[in-house]
């Protein structure tokens, strides 16, 4: 089992690395493609999606769902929603730290793509996409709790990620790397909050 687990981890790392390399390669192509298919209606819609896909909106949703599950006495889903909030916090903190450290210029700044090192200004916070990382972390937790529900919710972070590219806030690589970061944060949150199920006692132990 341990060898198989190591194999899966290595395969996952290799696939993730390939996906990241491909995403960086197609940054300009994706930006040009979006620029050629701009429309006022689509832009307004994407701005709404981008606004609703921020960290605070996800936190409000998660806190509300956790409160409802706790009030109804559902321990499983209370733990799931708490894991979603934890994943959201981890992704938000990690993405923020990486943004400040890398200082990648946003596409909307209309300057040459560059990595400038530590920067506080939002103009240099392109990498990675905080919206995408937070949303992916939040909803990816559901994949571990109930894969059907998780798959049904997966289009939400994907749409949010695309909206960030459409409004000129991020490159394709920013979104892809953020999605991978969010998934990793979801995995860590589930592992941290997963409680051990007590073994059923035999009649002789009662």
Go through the domains of the chain in sequence order and give each one's CATH number.
Answer: 2-194 (1.20.144)
Whole-structure pTM over 0.75, yes or no? yes
Query: In whole angstroms, what is the distance from residue 44 CA to residue 66 CA?
Result: 32
Predicted local confidence at residue 111, as pLDDT: 66
Dihedral of the CA atoms 9, 14, 20, 25 (nearest 10)? -170
Residue ranges in the chain modelled with pLDDT below 70:
1-2, 110-113, 195-206
Q: What is the pLDDT of residue 122?
A: 84
Cβ 129 vs Cβ 96: under 8 Å: no
Residues 6+ apart with CB under 8 A from 140: 87, 150, 154, 157, 182, 183, 186, 187
Are the C-beta atoms of 33 and 165 separated by less than 8 Å?
no
Segment holding 5, helix H or strand E: helix 2-25
């Amino acid at each position: 089992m341990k060898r198989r687990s190591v194999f899966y981890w290595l395969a996952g790392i290799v696939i993730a690395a390939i996906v990241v390399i491909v995403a960086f390669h197609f940054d300009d192509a994706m930006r040009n493609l979006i620029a050629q298919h701009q429309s006022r209606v689509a832009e307004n819609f994407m701005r709404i999606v981008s606004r609703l896909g921020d960290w605070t909106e996800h936190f409000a949703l998660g806190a509300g769902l956790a409160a409802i599950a706790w009030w109804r006495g559902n321990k499983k889903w209370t733990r799931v929603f708490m894991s979603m909030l934890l994943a959201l916090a981890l992704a938000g903190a990690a993405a923020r730290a990486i943004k400040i450290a890398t200082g990648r210029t946003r596409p909307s700044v209309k300057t040459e793509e560059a990595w400038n090192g530590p920067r506080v200004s939002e103009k240099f916070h392109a990498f990675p996409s905080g919206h995408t990382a937070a949303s992916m972390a939040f909803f990816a937790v559901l994949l571990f709790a109930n894969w059907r529900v998780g798959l049904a919710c997966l289009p939400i972070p994907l749409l949010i990620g695309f909206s960030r590219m459409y409004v000129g806030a991020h490159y394709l690589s920013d979104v892809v790397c953020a999605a991978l970061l969010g998934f990793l944060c979801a995995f860590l949150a589930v592992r941290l909050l997963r409680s051990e199920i007590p073994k059923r006692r035999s009649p002789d132990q009662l």
